[in-house]
Amino acid sequence: MDDRTPVIGVSESDRLSALAALEKLGLNAACYVSQVLPRPPITAALRDAAEPASWTDLYTAKAIKLTWFRADPTLKLVLGQAYGCEVEFWQPDPAAGVLRAPRRNRMMFAVSMAGVPVEAGAHRFTRLAAPTTPGPRLRTRREFDLALPDDIDFPIDVVYTWVDGADPDWQRRRAEIKGEAFHAEAASESRYINRDELKFSLRSLHLNAPWVRNIYIVTDRQRPAWLDLSAGNIFLVDHKDIFRDRNALPTFNSVAIETQLHNIDGLAEHFLYLNDDMFFGRPLAPQTFFLANGNTKFFLSQNRVPIGPITSLDTPIDAMIKNNRRLIEERFGRTLTQGSQHVPYPLRRSILAEIEREFPAEHARTAHSRFRSATDIIITYSLYHYYAFMTGRALPGHVNYGYVQLAVPDLVARLRRAEARRDWDTFCINDAFSTYDQLQQQMTVLEPFLEAYFPVPSPYELVGRP
């Protein structure tokens, strides 16, 4: 039932031969053995597989685990017991002609003793693999080489919107549109600091969501210096390539850019939208975000948006959600009060295009809003999810989610806790309230944290580039 752990089934009649082979393996490779079933008093207890005494109590176990610890070259990331290989002993039932499983699995409680082995792709054994994932075919039984109702076999892409706010050319364009004078010296002291969160978000994606097909990074004539596009499944997309009306450009409004994401050429129907400050904290299956019938999931925030018209006390986000609220009330007679958690947003191209058709005036006004405005709607964060839910194409989901606001006095303690426990499915690191001096100080804390949490470079980084 755990996608991180491969499982091998062995007939109880072959127990002695199997354990003898595993003991021999323990002498030749540094590994550890532990009992899984029956559940031992100390579940994380590991024994040196090279010691014969370690196996004494395991000759009656229904399931055991072999663990090989693996570390990245810096020794900052260690894959341990959760990623070991489990061995189950299936009980023969000659009267029924079957082998019976010692515990639950997703397929069968019993298989025929006369069954013929077959080979299947990795996607049959873990939801972390897609049907197109390259790799060896693995031996199994025909009963396990079947598609289940909750299996996801459609492609899923990822879209980022990214800007390097420290880029002088970008700052100059922004100043010109705002009608402000651009001073290089003042710009160098701006609050924009590029911490390369995108690089670490891509590392988290590659490590923890290997089922993703293509990655699209939407930018305004920019490219990270470290980005390597040679992997073949990552692409830069310029604003001019997705905005139907070029007169809306240049834009410095993220919600305006988000109105055009469904225009990305080649984008899959199902995709995740991320900001560069969002990270996958541990391995996640696509079922975290989508249903096999194609519907999306959404993750509501516990915050509440005040009832009533937009006021000067509203945050920009609350003002935009109030605009969304009006549209949902007029269309469905329901009043939304919550925004979303800052987690990857599951979206469908066809529904985004439908929203553009259904609310053309509000959609067009937001697309032409060069800077955030109280008249904007916010689609990916709120409107899409409520609209899809009310039309029967989305359901609430759940993730163990972390949110780290950088401008807090206990920042170091929070980051240390996150690195030590690694129990967040996804997390977001946000700096909305920091001053420039605070941002500089935070860099000395945040960079080591991200390097420690995601030390393994992704295929999307140029070798030797910081």
Domains in the chain: boundaries: 7-115, 156-453
pLDDT at residue 192 in the model: 54
pLDDT at residue 57 in the model: 85
Q: How many CB atoms lie within 10 A of CB 311?
A: 11
Question: Pick from 178, 422, 81: which is nearest to 280 by CA?
Answer: 422
- The class level of CATH for 156-453 reads alpha beta
The DSSP output letter for 102 is S
pLDDT at residue 185 in the model: 47
pLDDT at residue 154 in the model: 96
pLDDT at residue 189 in the model: 42
**Interaxial angle between packed helices 197-208 and 436-453, expressed in degrees from 0 to 180 and rounded to the nearest 10:** 30
β-bridge partners, 403: 428
> What is the token pair recorded at 52?
């014969």
β-bridge partners, 238: 219
Cβ proximity of 10 and 89 under 8 Å: yes
Residues of the chain with pLDDT under 70: 181-194, 432-436, 465-466
Cβ proximity of 168 and 187 under 8 Å: yes
Task: Tell the residue number behind the tokens 């459609």, with chain if given.
Answer: 154
The number of C-alpha atoms within 13 Å of 4 and in the hemisphere containing its C-beta is: 14
> What is the token pair recorded at 5?
């752990």
Helices (H) and strands (E) in the chain, counts: 11, 21
